[in-house]
Chains A and B, each alone.
Chain A
Amino acid sequence: MTEFLAKMGPHDMGGENAGPIDIVDHGMTHWEKHANAVRMTVSGKKLATLDEMRRACEDLGERYYELSYFERLTEALVIVLKEKNFFTEEIFNNKMVDVRERFNVPIISLPDSHDHDGKPIQEDEVGEGPNDHQVMNLAIQDLLQQSNLITANDIRKTIEKFDEDYPNRGQKVVVRAWTDEDFKSQLLEDANPAIESMGIDLEHAARLIVVENTDLVHNIIVCTLCSCYPRVLMGQPPTWYKSRSYRSRVVNDPRNVLKEFGIDLPSSITVRTHDSNADMRYMVLPQRPEGTEGWSGEKLESIISRDALVGVSIPNIEEVI
């Protein structure tokens, strides 16, 4: 289906041919959560912009495809911070050596009664020490802390917000919209103030646009150029949302993508595909299923999956917890 001849760079993948989508969300490892927190703290403190990090990422060329999502974001962040003179190549490389050294822990002899299935004890999760990109993020954090630009608490708080505060807010917003027509009108008109009126702090995040599914319209969200997503409302995007196959195919073949997620729409329903390519962020307001009259807010929330808020799932009363 590829019809254009040129593209901006490796990231500009909307409309490319790509394989099937792995629709399972593989979640995030700790080092990826740390990498995300370092990046968000740096941008939150205005030490560098997300635009600069995106540009550095795009300029990775072929390497873009060789690296995982957080690996390339990490390398891009190092490039930008060096450009902006937060540290030199030499200082960064020396810090990398220091950080690696921290993990070089001697194996301690333990009494025979203290048995870890015969395995030596190492201060890491996988038994091979931290990976290069984890070391890079720890080195960035150390150097910026030494310059009093960020604190360890900034990183900790960011990780906690992404883990505990941001996920599942979208579900609460949907339940409110399902049960309060005035709120729903305001939400569709101007989402940020409506959501903040519920006591949810959007932290001056990008403007949110909520798009409503109806009997005649189905909405689906993508970011073809990177992975823009309403994080303060829905937490971290699932792994498939960041995948090459999803980003390439949703814009020119949304109905087959939806089929892969288990949704087969008749042609009488219009599919609106939203490419979140600049400053807006999007959430889908799914339809309230029939048979949920009189349900409590909690019960309603339990049938609203994160995927429904991206538009690749439809709430189903069979899924009530």
Chain B
Amino acid sequence: MATPNFSSYTPAPNNLFKVGDQVEIRQGIPPGHRRTPAYIRGKCGLIERICGSFSNPEERAYGFDGLPKRILYRVTFKQVDVWSSYQGSKNDTLELEIFEHWLKPIM
């Protein structure tokens, strides 16, 4: 097949987290448009990949340009860590995209 002539990865300079890092999602329900669902706040997971840099939807939602761009990560959670009553395999995962400013390191 033809070799793809571009990459869809956008640079994510000065990323605070790397693949495999343990992170906690920030708590609280600040007003405004957010793309971090309530159910995942306060939960702990692992960085699965760095998606790249994207304009901030929390600003774009109000007519601003969303710049500077924010780094977006995919974070993997164990279902049993998210829902204490989860009925399924302990290996089952829930995976979400979380912007850097919603992540806290776990030491």
Q: Mark A residues whose CB is within 8 Å of B.
A: 1, 3-4, 6-8, 12, 14-15, 49, 51-52, 54-55, 58, 83-84, 180, 182-183, 186, 190-194, 196-197, 207-209, 224-225, 251-256, 267-280
Contact of B85 among A1, A186, A196, A272 (CB under 8 A): A1
Given contacts A15-B83, A190-B9, A197-B4, contact A52 B62 (CB under 8 A): yes
B1, B34, B37 interface centre (most CB from chain A within 10 Å): B37
Per-residue interface assignment for chain B, residues 85 to 102, with 1 indicating a CB less than 8 Å from any chain A CB and 0 otherwise: 111110111111111000
Q: Are A7 and B94 in contact (CB under 8 A)?
A: no
B89→A182 contact, CB < 8 A: no
The count of A-to-B residue pairs whose CB atoms sit within 8 angstroms is 147
B29 adjacent to A275 (CB under 8 Å): no
Given A12-B37, A277-B37, A51 and B92 touching (CB < 8 A)? no
Is A52 a contact of B61 with CB atoms below 8 Å?
A: yes
Shortest distance between the CB of A289 and any CB in chain B (Å): 23
Residue of A nearest to B85 (CB): A1
Apart from A3-B83, A4-B39, list 12 A-B contacts with CB within 8 A.
A1-B85, A12-B37, A12-B39, A208-B8, A209-B74, A256-B87, A267-B88, A268-B89, A273-B92, A276-B97, A278-B57, A279-B72
Contact B37 A14 (CB under 8 A): yes
Q: Can you identify 10 A-B contacts, CB atoms within 8 angstroms?
A: A4-B41, A6-B29, A8-B38, A190-B7, A190-B8, A207-B8, A254-B88, A256-B87, A278-B35, A279-B72
Task: Please state if A280 and B97 are interface contacts (CB–CB under 8 Å).
Answer: yes
Selected from B4, B39, B83, B89, the residue in CB contact (under 8 A) with A196 is B4
Contact call A224/B85, Cβ cutoff below 8 A: no
Is B106 an interface residue, CB under 8 A from the partner? no
CB distance from A231 to the nearest CB of B (A): 17
Contact of A277 among B36, B60, B66, B91 (CB under 8 A): B36
